[in-house]
Amino acid sequence: MEFDIDFIAHTNRIADYNPYVKVIGSILLVLSALFINNNYYSIFIIIVSSLLLLALARVSLKDYVKFLTIPFAFTFLTCIFMLFFFPSGAYIWNSGFFGIGITTESLRVSLLTFFRVFACFSALGFMSLTTPITDVMSVLRTFYVPQIFCEIAVLMYNAIFIFLDNITVMRNAQKTRLGYLGGYIDSMKSFGSMFSNLFLISLEKSETLQRTLDSRCYTGELPVYKPDRSKDTYPELVS
């Protein structure tokens, strides 16, 4: 895999640091960005969480940029859309075509949304890149988040990595037989058949998972394991 969130979450400098501080801290950052709703404050949050990630957790800039690419593309497109298609107030630029254009209000709203969303992403990024999923879940559980939610989240999280591996394997299998090469329609066909196959595989996987869980006396509830890591008998961990 090119980029592995989970690996970074386990290996960064502050992976073992108190998860409550990290999870609550980043949730507070997210909430404050949502409530305060001010461009300067949002930019401040982006800078703070990026600095924490890069300087304190020592996540490499490359990984961080990769992590932000997808949410960036998503937010950017949304805001472009908002910028042009929701005109209200005085025009700064008018295409003269169905009223499409940039207005003072649409500029203000789209910038505001962009920074707000991005502030939330970087704050959440701080959490997901520094805190292993188990720690996040144990924090959520102490706040009475329903167990079923945590269980589904853990199983899905685990399934994502298996999916990604499967996708890589299937894509390579298609590429060796000249998939994705014959132009747009062909690419779409390759992608579609891969995706439907992925769906079948995931159905099968869920059945297998049920069997493997059952054979270890699964009761319908995933038990929580809380080892006492301060014990002398707790083994020294390999790095």
Chain residues binding another protein by CB under 8 A are 6-7, 10, 132-134, 154-155, 157-158, 161-162, 165, 205, 208-209, 211-219, 222-228, 231, 233-238
The smaller minimum CB distance to another protein, of residues 74 and 149, is found at: 149
Angle at 221 between CA 215 and CA 226, to 5 degrees: 100
Beta-carbon contacts of residue 56 (< 8 Å; ≥ 6 apart): 13, 14
Task: For another protein, give the closer residue by CB, 183 or 230.
Answer: 230
Query: What is the closest distance, in whole angstroms, from the C-beta atom of residue 1 to another protein in the complex?
Result: 9
From the CB of residue 208, how many other CB atoms can be counted at a distance below 10 Å? 10
Q: Which is nearer to another protein, 96 or 223 (CB)?
A: 223
Of 37 and 138, which has the nearer Cβ to another protein?
138
CB of 23 to another protein, least distance (A): 15
* Under 8 Å between Cβ of 47 and 167: no
C-beta of 206: minimal distance to another protein in Å?
10
* Element spanning 91, H or E: strand 91-97
**Sequence-separated (6 or more) residues with CB below 8 Å from residue 170:** 194, 197, 198
Q: Which residue number, 79 or 135, has a Cβ lying nearer to another protein?
A: 135
- Closest approach of another protein to the CB of residue 66, in Å: 18
- Residue 213 tokens read as 């869980």
- Written as six digits, the tokens of 126 are 């701080």
Q: Which is nearer to another protein, 165 or 186 (CB)?
A: 165
If you count them, how many residues does the chain have?
Answer: 239
Q: Which is nearer to another protein, 11 or 187 (CB)?
A: 11
Note whether 119 and 46 are within 8 A (CB): yes
Shortest distance (Å) from residue 21 CB to another protein:
19
- Contact in structure between 32 and 144 (CB atoms under 8 Å): no
- From the CB of residue 26, how many other CB atoms can be counted at a distance below 10 Å? 23
Contact 111, 39 (CB under 8 A): yes
